[in-house]
Amino acid sequence: MPRAARLTTTAAALAAISVLATACTGQSGAAATDDPKADVTIAFWHGWSAPSEVKAIQDSIDRFEKAHPNIKVKATGNMTDDKINQALRAGGDKAPDVVSSFATDSVGKFCNSGAFADLNPFMEKSGIDGPKVFPATLLEYTRYKGNQCTLPLLHDAYGLVYNKTAFAAAGITEAPVTWSEFAEAAQKLTKPKGDSYEQLGVMPTFHGYETTPMRLAAQWSPTYFTADGKSNLAGDPAFAKMLTAQKDLVAKLGGYEKLERFRAGFGDEWSAEHPFHKGLVAMQVDGEWRPAMAKEAGVPFEIGTAPLPVPDDQRADYGKGYLSGTVMGISSASRKQNAAWELVRYMTTDTEAVVAFANAIHNIPSTLAALRSPQLQVTPESKTFLDIARHAKSNTTPARADGGAYQLTFQDFAYAVEKGDVPDLAAGLARTDRQIDTDIAKAE
């Protein structure tokens, strides 16, 4: 299940992380002086809660304990960032030694505040060369200003999931490659019904589940910050082009108000009532989990997958997409950091461990070796997302000291743009840049 997708764009999660970072500032003094060969029990907190997920992570722990008989791992699941925050604030023996977080946007705060230990010394001691082990984009969202305070533990790629039966009925023979082809397909697939729709080609509004400004902006290969760290929304034309293209598509499909009325009747994103499952939308911006979920929901149509379309002038870069994922780190207050590192190293860099975990929960492996492993279970649908994950131009939102707050600021601005509340796009982007710079300066 794509937990990162659930949490990275929610203000609640970011607020909890903000408190965590503030509370943990200055707690990075605990040295890694413990003997990793001594008998010890370490506490590992993670967020997985579904029975199959919990079993998968326990299976990984069991394999680790077999290889490291002196280290016992006490795992606690269904732990939110808010619960982690409370435990790290309290400290003591009940606090976790190792943490897995679904909120990748929190990395900048974790690193900047000292809440998590810098893993660079551990990696150097173990002979782990990050760029040779992990895809570059994953390293980008797991570190901040050189501080590798987390490592990637599986990840998600975002692409296009579509109803092949609806495509055939509309006379569309293949997935759209460029944005203009995407807009044309969306219109062909849309079936109006009075003041609503029988079927919508795609829900283009930014409240449409995974159709966030960050997911779409990735197709324009944006640069969020300048070389000196300043917000670059107004400076990089990619943002204005994406917002303009999205707003134009909203207009072509009936306008913001009509689309939002239709969206109000959609079911929960994580249930069988998802509008794609129900045939209410023919195309869906989503991750590698959606095809399996749709099949489990018993959809009566054939499912296709493809990368998201690219701007017309970037056709050569087709295949890229937005990447996100789960991160794993060590509490800077832990007095068992060397033993904790053995668990982190195993779960994030051991090829067999990474592949087994990815196969079990249907996510994408987070190491280069695991992505190439013949043991990786690949379906026609999942291959699309694996290819997106491997694409050299796939990208993510960079870590910053304010966590993902800058993304929420950008997202709120995008909401205003699509509603028609921003008369001057350039001026609005410049104003948003100033707000982001102010917030990051305060966080730092």
Please name which of 148, 235, 183 lies closest in space to residue 434, comparing C-alpha atoms: 235
117 falls within a domain: yes
Range of the domain at 63: 3-156+323-390
Is there a contact between 74 and 43 (Cβ–Cβ < 8 Å)? yes
Q: For 228-237, what is each residue's pLDDT tens digit?
A: 999 999 999 9
Q: Is the pLDDT of residue 13 over 60?
A: no
The rounded distance, in Å, linking the Cα atoms of 26 and 381 is: 46
Task: Record the pTM.
Answer: 0.86
Average pLDDT over residues 283-311: 95
Query: What's the domain count of the chain?
Result: 1
100, 284, 287, 366, 411 from 153: Cα distances, Å: 8, 26, 16, 6, 26
Average pLDDT over residues 86-104: 81
Q: For 137-196, what is each residue's pLDDT tens digit?
A: 899 889 988 999 999 999 999 999 999 999 999 999 999 999 999 999 999 999 999 999
8: CATH: 3.40.190.10
Please name which of 233, 238, 243 lies closest in space to residue 221, comparing C-alpha atoms: 238
Q: How far is C-alpha 417 from the geometric centre of its chain's CA atoms?
A: 24
3-class secondary structure, 330 = strand
Question: DSSP letters of 69-91?
Answer: TTEEEEEE-S--HHHHHHHHHH-
103 falls within a domain: yes
The rounded distance, in Å, linking the Cα atoms of 267 and 274 is: 5
Largest CA distance in the chain: 71
Give the pLDDT score at 15. Answer: 44
334 falls within a domain: yes
- At 313, which amino acid appears? D
Tokens of 200: 């919508």
Give the pLDDT score at 328. Answer: 95
Tell me whether residue 329 is exposed, middle or buried, using C-beta atoms within 10 angstroms of its C-beta: 0 to 12, 13 to 18, 19 or more: buried
Of 422 and 141, the one with more pLDDT:
422
Average pLDDT over residues 42-68: 94
Q: Residue 267: how many CA atoms within 13 Å on its side-chain side?
A: 13
Sort strands 281-287 and 196-202 into parallel, antiparallel or unpaired: parallel
3-class secondary structure, 278 = coil
Q: Is the pLDDT of residue 421 over 80?
A: yes
99 falls within a domain: yes
Average pLDDT over residues 418-426: 97
- At 188, which amino acid appears? K
The percent of residues above 90 in pLDDT, for the chain, comes to: 76
Q: Is the pLDDT of residue 4 over 60?
A: no
The percent of residues above 70 in pLDDT, for the chain, comes to: 92
Confidence of residue 31 (pLDDT cuts 50, 70, 90): low
**Stretch (H or E) spanning 163:** strand 151-163
Give the pLDDT score at 56. Answer: 94
195, 247, 413, 430 from 256: Cα distances, Å: 13, 9, 15, 24
Of 345 and 270, the one with more pLDDT:
345
The values of phi and psi at residue 305, to 5°, are -135, 150
Confidence of residue 276 (pLDDT cuts 50, 70, 90): very high
65 falls within a domain: yes
125 falls within a domain: yes
Tell me whether residue 67 is exposed, middle or buried, using C-beta atoms within 10 angstroms of its C-beta: 0 to 12, 13 to 18, 19 or more: exposed
Q: For 239-259, what is each residue's pLDDT tens digit?
A: 999 999 999 999 999 999 999
Q: Is the pLDDT of residue 81 over 80?
A: no
3-class secondary structure, 194 = coil
171 falls within a domain: no
294 falls within a domain: no
Give the pLDDT score at 41. Answer: 97
